[in-house]
Amino acid sequence: MENKLLTPLRLGDYTLKNRVIMAPLTRMRADADLVPTKLNIEYYRQRSSAGLIITEASQISRLAQGSPMTPGIYSDKQLAGWEKVTDAVHQENGRIFLQLWHVGRISHSSFHPGEGLPVAPSAIRPEGNTLTSEWKQVPFETPRALETSEIKATVRDYKQAAINAKKAGFDGVELHSANGYLLNQFLHGKTNQRTDEYGGSVENRARLALEVIDQLIDVWGTGKVGIRLSPFTFSGDVHDLDALPVYEYLLKELDFRQLAYVHFVRARSTEIEDQMVFEKEKELWNRYSGTIIAADGFTPETAEEYVENGLADAIAFGRSFISNPDLPKRIEINAELNAYDRTTFYGGGEKGYTDYPFLQEQNA
Ligand SMILES: Cc1cc2nc3c(=O)[nH]c(=O)nc-3n(C[C@H](O)[C@H](O)[C@H](O)COP(=O)(O)O)c2cc1C
């Protein structure tokens, strides 16, 4: 029987060759200027058989950075570095979207000493520790609440980043509004206690994400813009089921716009005990009538089942794409997957990055 995961998919302005998507994966291997390197080019080139590559999150400004050595998309050098990545992927007949990132309070002042403390909707410290620019584990700082005028400036930073991404030859952009970062912090009441037009009501808390989406559409058109959402995430200390009405509203608004796709990080059964959450999740997804990518914890088998049952149009694989550059081929011939090595996820060189074997190397 034909494997539906391997069939083409119309996604916005493109027809993808398959529904096996490479999830955005931060790997912390850019250079000191936060520019993609030769090694990064090779890594993405190796993974061009994905229906779509969504890059690692790329910060839109200095203040937007939250981890060491993550690539930016705000300087000319960074843009030129990314251009080589998109060229390599296109030479291999691949498609690649850039994930646009602002971490908000999940930052540390060591990344932007000139700008000082991390920024956020409200001055609320996340629980836990973070890494400094020197790779030292330290407790999070209490962020500074953005002024309303600074929020407008942040929207402009996103727009400029989208323009830069276009110049760098990407096929589109994904707005990172998931996993506890800035836009996610605005959506949830636990992290957003503002009293201006960006806080309080459902409409106000969704305002920033929608303003940014509209700027991205202005630059790219609806068919080349996606958004990533994780309504039930525990990452970044934002978990807050009271945020559900915000997502209902946001999805209604996104449905009007008909983006290239909405990318959902699904609720984790290891984190969530209340079974009602999974019903709520289904309801949320049903509010979006366009293309849906689903992520988190899929195997080739569960992914196929999911797509076959119409729960999503495509599946994003994270860790399996780290260790299997030829993942679609392995799915096609039902080959065993290479195991991933967690210790080489973040930082370092080619070990655990570009040295995972392709099938033909393994069989040679
Ligand atoms: C090393 C690593 C880096 C990640 N970086 C990002 C990122 O930059 N942006 C993002 O939205 N998600 C990121 N994620 C989450 C993945 O996109 C994906 O949702 C997660 O790995 C679950 O999918 P999986 O079970 O297929 O690995 C990262 C995950 C891992 C393991």
CATH value at residue 129: 3.20.20.70
Are the beta carbons of 321 and 25 closer than 8 angstroms? Answer: yes
Ligand 1: which residue has its CA nearest to atom 21?
Answer: 318
Domains in the chain: how many in total? Answer: 1
147 and 157 Cβ atoms separated by less than 8 Å: no
252 phi/psi in degrees, rounded to 5? -60, -45
Q: 354 in a domain, yes or no?
A: no
Closest residue by CA, ligand 1 atom 31: 319
CA 344 from chain center: how many Å?
Answer: 20
Write down how long the chain is: 364
| Within a domain: 263 | yes
1 within a domain of the structure (yes/no): no
**336 is a domain residue:** no
- 181 is a catalytic site residue: yes
Q: Does residue 341 belong to any structural domain of this protein? A: no
**pLDDT of 335:** 96
Dist. CA 191–CA 184, nearest whole Å: 9
In a domain, 323, yes or no: no
Is the shortest distance between the CB of 24 and ligand 1 below 6 Å? yes
Query: Alpha-carbon distance 160 to 215, whole Å?
Result: 9
CA distance 95 to 296: 21
Catalytic residue of the set 74, 181, 198, 261: 181
Q: Is residue 112 part of a domain?
A: yes
Residue closest by Cα to atom 10 of ligand 1: 24
Domain that holds residue 68: 7-294+305-314
Which of 20, 21, 26 has most ligand 1 atoms within 8 Å of CB, for mutation?
A: 26
Query: Which residue, 308, 156, 287, 155, is CA-closest to 231?
Result: 287
Where are any strands of DSSP class E within the chain? Answer: 9-11, 14-16, 20-22, 52-59, 96-101, 119-120, 129-131, 137-139, 144-145, 172-176, 225-229, 261-265, 292-295, 314-317
Q: Which stretch of DSSP H or E encloses residue 91?
A: helix 76-91
Q: What is the structure's pLDDT at 363?
A: 67
- Measuring CA to CA, which residue among 137, 230, 217 is closest to residue 181? 230
Token reading at 70: 């993550």
Among 315, 318, 358, smallest CA distance to 335 is for: 358
Q: Which residues of the chain have pLDDT under 50?
A: none
Tell me if 328 is assigned to some domain.
no
Residue 280: what are its φ and ψ, rounded to 5°? -60, -40
Ligand 1 proximity of 318 Cβ (cutoff 6 Å) = yes
pTM: 0.98
Question: Could you report the per-residue pLDDT of 3-50, keeping only the tens digit for each?
Answer: 999 999 999 999 999 999 999 999 999 999 999 999 999 999 999 999
* pLDDT at 361 (0 to 100): 73
| Pairwise CA distance, residues 159 & 165, whole Å | 10
